Amino acid sequence: MNRIERLIGKMSLAEKLGQLTMTAADYAVTGPFAAGDSTEAIKAGTIGNLLNIFGADRVRELQRLAVEESRLGIPLLIGLDVVHGHRTLFPIPLGEAATFDPRLWSLTAREAAVEAAADGLAMTFAPMLDVSRDARWGRGAEGPGEDPWLAARIAEAKVRGFQGADLAAPDALAAVAKHYCAYGAVTAGRDYASVDISERTLHEVHMPPFAAAVAAGVAAVMPAFTDLAGIPMTANGALLTGWLRRRLNFDGVIVSDFNAVGELIRHGIAADLAQAAALALNAGVDIDMMADAYRRGLPIALERRWVTMADIEASVRRVLSLKVRLGLFEDPYRRGKTPESAPVIAARRRLARAAGARAIVMLKNDGAVLPLPDSVRRLAVIGPLADASAEMRGPWWAAAGSEEPVSVLAGLRGMLGESRVLHQPGVEIDAESVSGIASALELCAHSDAILLCVGESAAMSGEAASRAHLGLPGRQRPLAEAVLERARVLRKPVIVILFSGRALVVPWLIEQADAVLAAWFPGSEAGNAIGDLIMGRIGPSGRTPVSWPRAIGQVPLFYGQRPSGRPADPKDRFTSKYLDASDAPLFPFGHGLTYGECTLSNLRVTPESVTEHDTVEIRVDVANGGARGAEETVFLFARDKLASVARPLLELKGFGRIHLDPGQSGTVTMFLAAQELKFLGLDLQPVFEPGEVEILVGPCADRSRLLAGTIQLAPPPRA
Ligand code: BGC
């Protein structure tokens, strides 16, 4: 009998339920969720997992209680939301998605894991993989953007990064793919609201990143708070056990979201904690986070025969297996043994700086005002987000509370010197006073260029941060309009740096500014990253992972829509369009300028005909006719024009990248496995349908800017 079975054989019911319980050490003392002192519970073996603590010494002490003072000596599993960095923050995930850089996605996750493991942690509640097509939803900031294929690539890169090659390594974290599934499709973009989507959309759009995470070996999965067509995900046996475990062969741990088991009562499918606990356990949820429903409810549920001891033990087995895989039984103190050295921390900061710059999307750069020329002697840095260090963290910042990120102002003053950078906030982000605008305007006359730092505060995206208005909050619009007007009179360029956890709806601002950078929330090195980019030390290379709306009424907005029987036609009223706004986004998915001027030509798609097991090679020439170097991203889309099921107008299938000096040209080569052209047929099963598929290559998801080729999908040769 192995260790796990021996342990299970010795465990009391209370100890088993302890292994299925995760609680925050602090809350355990003060309520409102778990009652009693966590110290005693850990010693009694009735709390087996913790969240929301970190720090090598603290973790070691709690671990010591479990290992040395509990009857069975089972180590604790300790997790935290290390979503985009631990102490060192990288850009928010939506910003990282914009880098279209799989190496970077992995690298930042690896670094976050190393740093968090040095703080004693063994699990991160990340990556967040919810595809989001509705900018109102605040949690889009934590995720991969609007595209399922992109989300899947991010999923595998992040899982590999967090977990490393060996989960038992002292610097590996167990990753938790969340929130399974379709959380991004909440009604009207309102957080925690109900979800009701078709099975096709579920499997085509929301499932692929989870399937990719499972294929990459993710250790755990967290069900979403939300329901899907009336069945809360925390009790969704068909999707947790049926799909995730049986279809995708996921054999890891399912950990509930915060109090989600208890919330089954509010969802209206459980009368009490016992029923809620039974529903969750029977659906496949192994660990109850923060509801204390398993400890309080499962003994009753057992008596009522709603659950079996075998089911409880199956979950205990999975939790213990994860602890074994993490090496916790061998050496429970392996994480957090050695403090990190200063050079290691400094190297991580450099990575954060590079990542911050790569995440920035240059939406506009009229007259090539950027990068700022040396002739700019004085810069006016205006706006409430210019000197807003804490805001640069974005909505999730794990353990970075004590570290001050570099503000835009600090970064620029560091680069240019104090005297060359003037600053006035003008207004606060969400206050009504406009009394500071006048002094902000005064700076315009004394500077050669104006940097306007506006947008959302960090708390305006993330969890429980849906917004119905996606403009600039507070009095930032009057400030921006006054600055733009003054700059026009003075003939000074205005560069807008937009901070947000989503695409904002600010067409007026984008229209009037000379240049606009979507900086998201760049993290610890924000000001330095932005400085590097606007001073031209680094060229912009980010591409937006979400479509930017012109009007709030356009959302949900995404490029991968299916065709209409009445496609938009300006000359024909009875077509699919708005009367009062264009149906096109302001900026399509994939849009992002560089300091170069790249053009694409000579698309080659070979071979002309493929069967299911072949690979297509796609080559395109790229020439940089601009005066500066550029890192150009080229997107590969497919379009199946005639199939048994209407297919999206464009589907992302790949991307490539090339660095070109001024005047240089080169070729980007991309490969597409014909398998990737399968889709879910009439019966929702994958099919490879013979026929013609368009291959479209270009700088973004704007159909009019794509080069087109075709391939024939051929039936398998007859045996
Ligand atoms: C969030 C999760 C997070 C958990 C633990 C919840 O409110 O939905 O994403 O992992 O809290 O902090």
Predicted local distance difference test score (pLDDT) of residue 29: 37
Angle formed by the axes of helices 408-416 and 526-534, to 10°?
Answer: 50
- CA neighbor of 23 nearest in space, from 43, 48, 45, 44: 48
Predicted local distance difference test score (pLDDT) of residue 37: 64
Ligand 1 pocket (Cβ < 6 Å) reads: 51, 81, 125, 178, 257-258, 463
Collapsing DSSP to helix, strand or coil, 441 comes out as helix
Instruction: Return the amino acid letter for 321.
Output: S
Which residues on neighbouring strands pair with residue 639, listed in sequence order?
A: 694
Point out the ligand 1 atom lying closest to the alpha carbon of residue 290.
5
For the entire predicted model, the pTM comes to 0.97
| Strands 691-698 and 707-713, bridge-based pairing | antiparallel
Distance 340 CA to ligand 1 centre (A): 27
- CA geometry: angle at 371 spanning 370 and 373, to 5°? 105
Nearest CA to ligand 1 atom 5: 258
Nearest CA to ligand 1 atom 7: 258
Point out the ligand 1 atom lying closest to the alpha carbon of residue 128.
9
- Which of 180, 225, 258 has most ligand 1 atoms within 8 Å of CB, for mutation? 258
Contacts of 76 (CB under 8 A, 6+ apart): 42, 47, 48, 49, 50, 62, 63, 66, 328, 332
Point out the ligand 1 atom lying closest to the alpha carbon of residue 125.
10
Contact present, 493 and 514 (Cβ < 8 Å): yes
Distance 257 CA to ligand 1 centre (A): 6
Distance 323 CA to ligand 1 centre (A): 21
Nearest CA to ligand 1 atom 8: 257
Distance 306 CA to ligand 1 centre (A): 28
Nearest CA to ligand 1 atom 2: 257
Distance 140 CA to ligand 1 centre (A): 14
DSSP states of 614-666 as a string? -EEEEEEEEEE-SSS-EEEEEEEEEE--S-SSPPPS-EEEEEEEEEE-TT-EE
Point out the ligand 1 atom lying closest to the alpha carbon of residue 179.
9
Nearest CA to ligand 1 atom 11: 258
Distance 398 CA to ligand 1 centre (A): 11
Point out the ligand 1 atom lying closest to the alpha carbon of residue 225.
8
Instruction: Return the amino acid letter for 317.
Output: R
- CA neighbor of 631 nearest in space, from 707, 540, 701, 697: 540
Rg of the chain taking only CA atoms, in angstroms: 26
Instruction: Return the amino acid letter for 259.
Output: N
Nearest CA to ligand 1 atom 12: 81
Predicted local distance difference test score (pLDDT) of residue 1: 60
Nearest CA to ligand 1 atom 6: 258
- Residue 28 and residue 367: Cα distance in Å, rounded? 59
Point out the ligand 1 atom lying closest to the alpha carbon of residue 52.
12
- Which of 52, 53, 81 has most ligand 1 atoms within 8 Å of CB, for mutation? 81
Distance 30 CA to ligand 1 centre (A): 19
Distance 623 CA to ligand 1 centre (A): 46
- Residue 197 and residue 207: Cα distance in Å, rounded? 12
- Residue 482 and residue 462: Cα distance in Å, rounded? 30
Residues in the chain: 719
User: From the first residue on, what is the mean pLDDT of each consecutive set of 10 residues in the chain (719 residues)?
Assistant: 93 98 68 58 96 93 96 98 96 98 98 97 98 98 98 98 98 98 98 98 98 98 98 98 98 98 98 98 98 97 98 98 98 95 97 98 98 95 98 89 91 97 97 96 97 98 98 98 98 98 98 98 98 98 98 97 96 96 96 98 97 97 98 98 98 98 98 98 97 98 98 87
Q: Which residues are known catalytic residues? A: 257
